[in-house]
C-alpha cells in the first residue's frame, strides 16, 4: 500500500472516529480539569501534561513543511504561519499560564492528546505540503481563503480574549473556577471553546481540504460535549447561575 492510499484510509477512519468520540464525550466528559475523577491511573501536572500533549502539533507541522514537495508556495507559508500562530501559543505559552493549583491530568489523557496531534498534524501537514496539487498565489485573493482567514482570525481573537478574561478572574478571585458576568460570557458558558471551533472551521474553508474539515469536525466533537458538561457543572455549583445561558451557541447548544 502506498502512502496516498494509506492517507485516504486514515482520513476516512478519522472522520468516523470523530463521530464515535462525540457520542462518548456526551455520555462522559474527558477526566481532566473540573471534570477530573479518580481511577484513571497516574497523573502529570497540568503544565507538563499540556506541554507534552500540544508540542507535537507545531513541531511536526514544521517538519512536514520542511520535508514536503510543495513548500515553495507562498500560500503554504501563510498556512504554516496560521497553524503556528495557534499552536506555538498552545504548546509553549498556554501551559505556563496555568496556576500551580491546576488539577493534574491523567497520563492516559495526555497519551490520547499526543496521538490526536500526531495523526491530525500528519493529515493536515502531508496533505498541504505533499499531496495537494498546489495553491497558486491567486488563492490568497479568492473567497475561500479570504472568508476562511477572517473566520480563523475572529476565532483566534475570541479564544485568546476569553482565556485572558478567565485567567484574570481566577487571579483576582483566588478561586480555581469562577464565574464571569460580562461581555459574551453573559450569553454563553464557554466562549473560549467557541473561538477554537471557529478557528478550525476557518482553517477548513481557507485550505478547502478534507484534512482541514476533519480537524474542524474533531474540534467540534471534542468541545461541544465539553461545553455542555461545563454548563451543567456551573448550574450544579452556582445556585444562581443564569438559567437562560447556553453552553456554546446562544439558543442552540
- What integer is the mean pLDDT of 214-224? 98
Q: Closest Cα partner for 55 from 96, 79, 89, 102?
A: 89
Summarize pLDDT for 112-121 with one digit per residue, the tens: 999 999 999 9
Residues 6 or more apart whose Cβ sits within 8 Å of residue 90: 50, 54, 57
Summarize pLDDT for 19-72 with one digit per residue, the tens: 999 999 999 998 888 888 888 889 999 999 999 999 999 999 999 999 987 767
Residue with the bigger pLDDT between 144 and 1: it is: 144
44 by DSSP, 3-state: which? Answer: strand
> Range with the lowest mean pLDDT among 1-10, 85-94, 172-181?
172-181
Residues 6 or more apart whose Cβ sits within 8 Å of residue 209: 124, 127, 128, 132
pLDDT tier at 175, thresholds 50, 70, 90 = confident
- What integer is the mean pLDDT of 207-213? 97
Whether pTM > 0.85 for this model: the answer is yes
Q: What pLDDT sits at residue 71?
A: 66
pLDDT at residue 103 tops 70: yes
pLDDT at residue 173 tops 80: no
Handedness of CA 40, 43, 46, 49 (dihedral sign): negative
**Angle formed at CA 100 by CA 95 and CA 101, multiple of 5 degrees:** 120
Q: Structural domain boundaries of the chain?
A: 31-135, 142-253
pLDDT at residue 246 tops 80: yes
Quote the percentage of the chain above a pLDDT of 90: 76
Question: How far, rounded to the nearest angstrom, does the alpha carbon of residue 47 sit from its chain's CA centroid?
Answer: 17
CB 200 within 8 A of CB 174: no
CA distance 207 to 10: 19
Amino acid at each position: 500500500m502506498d502512502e496516498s492510499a494509506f492517507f485516504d484510509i486514515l482520513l476516512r477512519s478519522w472522520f468516523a472516529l470523530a463521530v464515535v468520540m462525540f457520542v462518548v464525550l456526551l455520555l462522559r466528559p474527558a477526566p481532566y480539569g473540573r471534570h477530573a475523577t479518580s481511577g484513571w491511573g497516574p497523573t502529570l501536572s497540568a503544565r507538563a501534561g499540556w506541554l507534552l500533549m500540544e508540542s507535537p502539533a507545531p513541531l511536526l507541522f514544521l517538519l512536514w513543511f520542511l520535508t514536503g514537495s510543495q513548500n515553495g508556495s507562498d500560500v503554504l507559508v501563510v498556512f504554516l504561519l496560521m497553524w503556528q500562530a495557534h499552536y506555538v501559543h498552545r504548546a509553549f505559552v498556554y501551559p505556563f499560564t496555568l496556576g500551580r493549583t491546576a488539577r493534574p491530568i491523567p497520563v492516559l489523557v495526555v497519551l490520547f492528546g499526543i496521538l490526536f496531534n500526531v495523526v491530525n498534524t500528519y493529515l493536515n501537514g502531508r496533505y498541504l505540503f505533499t499531496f495537494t496539487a498546489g495553491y497558486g498565489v491567486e488563492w490568497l485573493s479568492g473567497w475561500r481563503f479570504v472568508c476562511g482567514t477572517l473566520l480563523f482570525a475572529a476565532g483566534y481573537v475570541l479564544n485568546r480574549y476569553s482565556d485572558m478574561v478567565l485567567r484574570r478572574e481566577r487571579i483576582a478571585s483566588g478561586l480555581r473556577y469562577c464565574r464571569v458576568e460580562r461581555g459574551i460570557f453573559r450569553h454563553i458558558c464557554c466562549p473560549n471553546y467557541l473561538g477554537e471551533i471557529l478557528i478550525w472551521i476557518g482553517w477548513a474553508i481557507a485550505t478547502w481540504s478534507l484534512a482541514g474539515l476533519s480537524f474542524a469536525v474533531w474540534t467540534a466533537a471534542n468541545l461541544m460535549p465539553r461545553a455542555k458538561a461545563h454548563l451543567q457543572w456551573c448550574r450544579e455549583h452556582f445556585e444562581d447561575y443564569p438559567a437562560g445561558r447556553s453552553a456554546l451557541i446562544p439558543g442552540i447548544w
